[in-house]
Amino acid sequence: MPGLSRKVPVWLPILVILIAMCSIQSGAALAKSLFPLVGAPGVTALRLTLGTLILVCIFKPWRLRFTREQRLPLLFYGLSLGAMNYLFYLSIQRIPLGVAVALEFTGPLAVALFGSRRAVDFVWVVLAVLGLWFLLPLGQSIAHVDLTGAALALGAGAFWAVYILTGQRAGEEHGPATVAMGSLIAAVVFVPIGAFQAGAVLWQWSILPLGLGIAILSTALPYSLEMIALTRMPTRTFGTLMSMEPALAAVSGMIFLGETLTGTQSLALLAIMAASMGSTLTMRGEAKIEKINIKE
C-alpha cells in the first residue's frame, strides 16, 4: 500500500521519546551493575553485539536503499551512536549516573539552543541550563567529581548532538529501520575495541542474559523509538525534551544503584523537567504531519 498518509498526533512522538528515555536509563543502571565483571568497554561490546543482532533480525537492513546524500549522514550517525555509548559507559564507571547524564546532556542542549528561533524557546533552554548548573556538584564539592569521568561524559554529549543532527537526515526515508544500519556501523568499530579490553570473560553464558537485557533496554527499544520521534518533531524540540534525561537517570540511580541526590540537586531536576514540559506545551503548530510509505 504505497503512499498511505496519516496524521501523526502531536502527543504521540512525545510519548514515544518518554518511553525511550525511561528504557535507556533503566538499561544504563543495569549496565553499571555489570561493570565489576566485564568493565565498561566490555558492556559496550556486549550491548552493541546483542542489540545489533536484535535490530538486524527485526528490520533486515540489507533491504534498505540509501541515496548518495544519505550515506554520509548515515555513517556519522552510526559512528556517533557507538562513540556516545562507549564514552558514556566509561564515564559512569567513574561518576554517578545522574551527574553523567547531566553532563552528557550538553550535546542535545546545544542543539536546542542553536536551533531556537522564538523567545519562548530560549526561555525553556535557559531554565534547563539553570537546572543543570545546580544539579552538578559545583563549588566546594567539585573535588569529589572525577574530572576524567566528567570529560568522558562531555565527550559523549558531543557525539549525542551529532547523533541527533545526522539521525534526522539519515532516517528521513526509512525511519526506525535506519537504527539497524547505524547500530551495525557502530558495532563494526566498537565491538572489537570493547571485546579486546574485556577479554574472554565477556562471552561467558552467565553474563549473556544480563547483556541481552541491556541490549533491549539500552539499544533495540530506545533507539528505534528515538528514530520515530526524530522524524516526527522539530530537532530543537527533540533536543529540549531530552532535558528530562538527567531526572530519569537520577531516579534510576536511586532505585537500582542506591545513588542519592541533595535537596538542591532535586530542585534542579524539577527545573529541568519544567523546561521539558514548557517546550512540549508550546509545540502547537510545530508538529510535523508525516507521509508514511508502507512497503509490502
pLDDT level of residue 281 (50, 70, 90 thresholds)? low
Q: What is the pLDDT of residues 2-23, one digit of tens each?
A: 444 456 677 788 888 888 888 9
**Grid-cell match 564515564, residue found:** 91
The Cα angle at residue 56 between residues 55 and 59, in degrees rounded to 5: 80
User: Rounded distance, CA 5 to CA 124, Å?
Assistant: 33
pLDDT tops 70 at residue 296: no
Query: For residue 94, what is its C-alpha cell?
Result: 567513574
Identity of the amino acid at 185? I
pLDDT tops 90 at residue 26: no
User: Rounded distance, CA 190 to CA 6, Å?
Assistant: 38
Distances (CA, A) of 159 to 151, 153, 172, 257, 281: 13, 10, 20, 26, 28
Average pLDDT over every residue of 109-117: 70
Q: What is the pLDDT of residues 180-210, one digit of tens each?
A: 888 899 999 999 999 888 877 777 888 888 8
User: Rounded distance, CA 119 to CA 62, Å?
Assistant: 44
More confident residue, 53 or 255: 53
CA dihedral 232, 111, 81, 180 (to 10 degrees): 10
Q: What is the pLDDT of residues 123-181, one digit of tens each?
A: 877 887 787 777 665 544 444 567 788 889 989 999 988 988 888 777 666 666 788 88
The percentage of the chain sitting over the pLDDT mark of 90, rounded to a whole number, equals 13
Q: How many CA atoms lie within 13 A of 76 on its CB side?
A: 17
Element (H, E) at 60: none
Query: For residue 239, what is its C-alpha cell?
Result: 533536543
Distance between terminal CA atoms of the chain? 7
